Amino acid sequence: MVYVDTSVLVALCVNEPHSAIVGRWYAACRDELISAAWCVTEFASALGIKRRTAQIDGEQSARAWQSFERLCAGDVQLLPIEQSTFHRAAVLTLDAKMGFRAGDALHLAAALSAKAKSMATLDEVLACNAKQMKMKRVSF
């Protein structure tokens, strides 16, 4: 089971520098893919930021959103987040050595709660911390 964070989902749905390598991984992947339901909000936020900074236009944003919805409907199981997972994320965020932002701590806490074996992320801080928790990092 592979936990997929939002950075990977964005790369799959929006043309970015890592889109090609992430796309090749996704096309070859046979593992079960999971993510926290939180990624829906985070994905929408990423699209909003890209719109506000003129990285994409409205049509590109709409196409990316449709691609994301197809991914979530067919290939990525979205898991609900329990109160205990929010608490675990808070504890991870409090540890300054981990260097977490809240969203990435929530991704790691959700992956740990789901007992995911691997983490697919483009975020180095999240990848490093997942490795510390004995999760394999997906190589792109």
Give me the CATH number covering residue 103.
Answer: 3.40.50.1010
Query: Cβ(113)–Cβ(85) under 8 Å?
Result: yes
User: Which two tokens mark 129?
Assistant: 């911390």
> Is the CB of residue 105 less than 8 Å from the CB of residue 98?
yes
Nearest to 35 by CA among 119, 91, 122, 100: 119
Task: Take residue 112 and report the two structure tokens written for it.
Answer: 């740990």
- The C-alpha atoms of residue 126 and residue 49 are separated, in whole angstroms, by 21
Q: How many domains does the chain have?
A: 1
Q: What pLDDT, on a 0 to 100 scale, did the predictor assign at position 98?
A: 87
Residue 100's pLDDT is 87
Q: Report, as ranges of residue numbers, the positions in the chain whose pLDDT lies below 70.
A: none
Q: Give pLDDT, residue 7.
A: 96
pLDDT for the residue numbered 140: 85
pTM: 0.93
Helices and strands: H and E segment counts in the chain? 7, 5
Predicted pLDDT at 139 = 87
**Residue 37: predicted pLDDT:** 94
Residue 116, domain extent: 2-137
For residue 113, give both structure tokens. 């709660």
Chain centroid offset of residue 80 CA: 14
